Amino acid sequence: MLRAASSTGSGVGNQPSSVDSTFVEQGGGGGGGGGGSGSGSGSGGTDGERRVHQTTLYSQLRKTEKANADLAIAKHFVTNNIAFNVARTPEFIEAMKAVAEHGPGYVPPSSETIRTSLLCTLKEKAADYVKEIKESWAETGCTIMSDGWRDMRSRNHLNLLASSSRGTVFLCSESTEGKVKDGRFLADFITRGIDEHVGRENVVQIITDNASNYNVAGALLEDRMPHVFKSNCAAHCIDLLFEDIDKEIEKVKETVRKGGEIKKFIYRFTHVLDCMRSHTMGREIKRPVATRFATNFIMLESIIKLEQPLRFMVASNEWRSLSQTKTTEGREVTQIIQDNLFWEDGREVIEVMEPLIKVLRMVDSEGGTFGYIFEAMDRAKEAISKYYNGEKAKYEPYWTIIDKRWILLHHPMHAMAALLNPHLYYDKLVKHDEETEKGIAEVLRKMFAPDDICERETFSSQLVDYMGMDSNIFSSFAKMTLRVKHPSLWWKVVIPSDKYGELRRVAMRLLSQPCSASACERNWSAFDAAHTKKRNRLKPQTLNDLVYVRVNLHLQKFLLKNSDSVVKPIYLDHITAFKEVEEDALLDVDGEDEREEERGLGVELESLV
């Protein structure tokens, strides 16, 4: 036995071999020794039996090793207050695989190494991503996004990001503590960021929210950079549209309220929640997000889908036996669930809201959506009218609310981008009218120098060819590809720059822009994590590097997850309004679940400092 063990060496990495050799010695019997071919006269089994036993013993050892590793990881999460959902992130899984591939003897880096050389390496990788995106701006241009946010310690910051059809990058951040955040301050911050990180010639559009100070900033920026236009965030405007509908249409307001009462009551009490889960087979009611009013309709839709299980639930003895269901609130929820009218109204509200939620999902996505918003809003209105069979008294209240918000959102460039979207124009989904005329005038005003008469005339001539569907533009190949390529990519790949250079440049720059500043909101939790009390003790440059790396890697991951948005066209009909998957971008627009968990853990961590 000693001879067999020593022949295989020692150490953690050799444990399985040592165990295997030991077993062969024990089971091999007499003269055959550790692995000889002699017949021997021992009482051991056949070679096959020994191999089976060997495999079983090895498998059991591996199970024990895995259990120990799992327990060590769980202990690390708990004792260091790490959010449990970190375990499902690709980065954690990648790290565990890398350690496993290294094998026994891996020594993790020190905290000093992580915050110095390794952080520098990560910054280089993030910079490579940023450089790749920036290189595309010469053709596509970019949209500047800025928003204010408050970290977990209630300190205010301003962020600056740049986005195009190729992706979004984080540029810089600045604390606004003790500063007056008026329009001039915001304009100076954005101008400084553009000059240092972008270049004015690469900026096409600036998107902000609708606050008065941002409107003042937008006007100042357009004065400083006449070729740039300022627009409002489409996702924010459409979300306000949902809020307007809820306030002004009584049926919608009452139905959403009742849905909220059901969700609130069920999730408040553990026994009530257990009762629901037993009847719904584990299916959940989706929780609305405070920063997005539209998610109330996603919550309502998830309730409507559970109509039968919820009806059976309130009719069950289990429900009746719960003390909570005997309260005034419990009886009200029971009555709502038993009310046929609630379910009828709920189905109607969801059907009417679905087209608008599709539009919200579209503008909330990554990539160039600018060429779609104009036609998408028209299509949503038509879908609502169609649901009510053209009965004006029923659809007009919705149209009135939509039109009020659209006036605040709409920019002449939206109409121009729709006109230059080859799929929409070729299929006659958008036409040349007063709106597109305003768009053409805006392009000439913004994208051509006033004294460059030659370029203006060339652009106008090329636009006439496009609108006349000239065969030099709409060739057989062009027609085949206009439904399979993103419009900005169609202009880049299909249209020759030597013949239609001016028109191609305008089309690519407009169609490569987003409609919303959603990328800012999606990264609130990423900003938060870099601004905890502990991390703010880091040197300023280290903290800046940490923010730069974390946010840009987060943006890169989001782009990879949504890579189709760069190359494929957008079809509103193909967008799913109400998703079955847990990872719903609208329900986690700012990482709210992760953010709340991190916030609680962060507070607990800081209390120990």
DSSP 578-609: S--SS--TTTTTT-HHHHHHHHHHHHHHHHT-
pLDDT > 60? residue 600? no
| pLDDT band at residue 606 under the 50/70/90 scheme | very low
Segment 520-534 shows an average pLDDT of 52
Tell whether the model's pLDDT for residue 578 goes beyond 90.
no
Q: Is 111 helix (H, G, I), strand (E, B) or coil?
A: helix
pLDDT on residue 540: 58
> Cα separations (Å) of 367 from 51, 200, 342, 522?
57, 21, 39, 14
Q: What pLDDT sits at residue 45?
A: 56
Position 460 pLDDT exceeds 60: yes
Residue-level pLDDT at 425: 96
Residue that the structure tokens 């880091």 belong to: 538
Residue that wins the pLDDT comparison between 580 and 70: 70
Is the pLDDT reported for residue 63 higher than 90? no
User: Ranked by mean pLDDT, which of 117-121, 190-194, 206-210, 528-532 comes out on top?
Assistant: 190-194
Report whether 544 contacts 454 (CB < 8 A).
Answer: no
- pLDDT mean over 234-260: 95
pLDDT(23) > 50: no
- pLDDT for residue 531: 47
Of the pLDDT bands very low, low, confident and very high (cuts 50, 70, 90), residue 3 is: very low
Look at 443 and 527; give whichever has higher pLDDT: 443
Distance CA 550, CA 195 (A): 23
Q: What is the mean pLDDT of residues 18-46?
A: 42
Q: Quote the CA–CA distance of 502 and 227 in Å, as a whole number.
A: 15
606: which residues sit within 8 A by CB, 6+ positions away?
532, 533, 534
Average pLDDT, whole number, for the chain?
83
Given pLDDT bands bounded at 50, 70 and 90, which one contains residue 30?
very low
Evaluate if residue 471 carries a pLDDT over 90.
Answer: yes
- Across 116-130, 289-303, 343-357, which has the greatest mean pLDDT? 343-357
CA dihedral sign of residues 13, 15, 16, 18: positive
Say yes or no to pLDDT of 75 above 50.
yes
Q: Cβ distance 146 to 158 under 8 Å?
A: yes
Sequence letter at residue 177? E
Ranking 121-125, 234-238, 340-344, 551-555 by mean pLDDT, the lowest is 551-555
Q: Which of 127, 173, 194 is nearest to 543 (CA)?
A: 173
Please give the pLDDT value at position 544: 75
Question: 428 in the Ramachandran plot: left (φ > 0), alpha (ψ -120 to 50) or beta?
Answer: left
Q: Which pLDDT belongs to residue 33?
A: 42
Report how far residue 509's alpha carbon sits from residue 137's, in angstroms, rounded to the nearest whole number. 9
pLDDT(583) > 60? no
Percent of the chain with pLDDT over 90: 59
Least confident of 15-19, 367-371, 490-494: 15-19
CA distances for 440 relative to 244, 374, 486, 488, angstroms: 32, 15, 22, 18
Average pLDDT rounded to a whole number, residues 278-297:
88
* C-alpha span between 593 and 34 (Å, rounded): 58
Task: Give strand pairing partners of 119.
Answer: none
- In this prediction, residue 15 carries a pLDDT of 41
In whole angstroms, what is the distance from residue 520 CA to residue 551 CA?
10
Q: Is the pLDDT of residue 537 over 60?
A: no
Are 530 and 149 in contact by the 8 Å Cβ rule? The answer is: no
Please tell me which residue, 522 or 129, carries the higher pLDDT value: 129
Q: Give the per-residue pLDDT at 18.
A: 38
* pLDDT in the model for residue 6: 38
- 39-43, 83-87, 446-450, 496-500: least confident range: 39-43
- pLDDT greater at residue 277 or residue 51: 277
Written as one string, the DSSP assignment of 56-77 is HHHHHHHHHHHHHHHHHHHHHH
CB atoms under 10 Å from CB of 120, counted, come to 12
Residue 569 has pLDDT above 60, yes or no: yes
- Walk me through the domains of the chain, giving residue ranges and CATH numbers: 118-233+517-607 (3.30.420.10)
Residue, of 49 and 108, whose pLDDT is higher: 108
Average pLDDT over residues 499-505: 96
Residue 375 has a pLDDT of: 94
Q: What is the mean pLDDT of residues 531-555?
A: 68
Report the amino acid identity of residue 8.
T
User: What band does 582 get if pLDDT is binned at 50, 70 and 90?
Assistant: very low
Find tokens 């970290």 and name the residue: 151
Would you list the DSSP string of 494-506? HS-HHHHHHHHHH
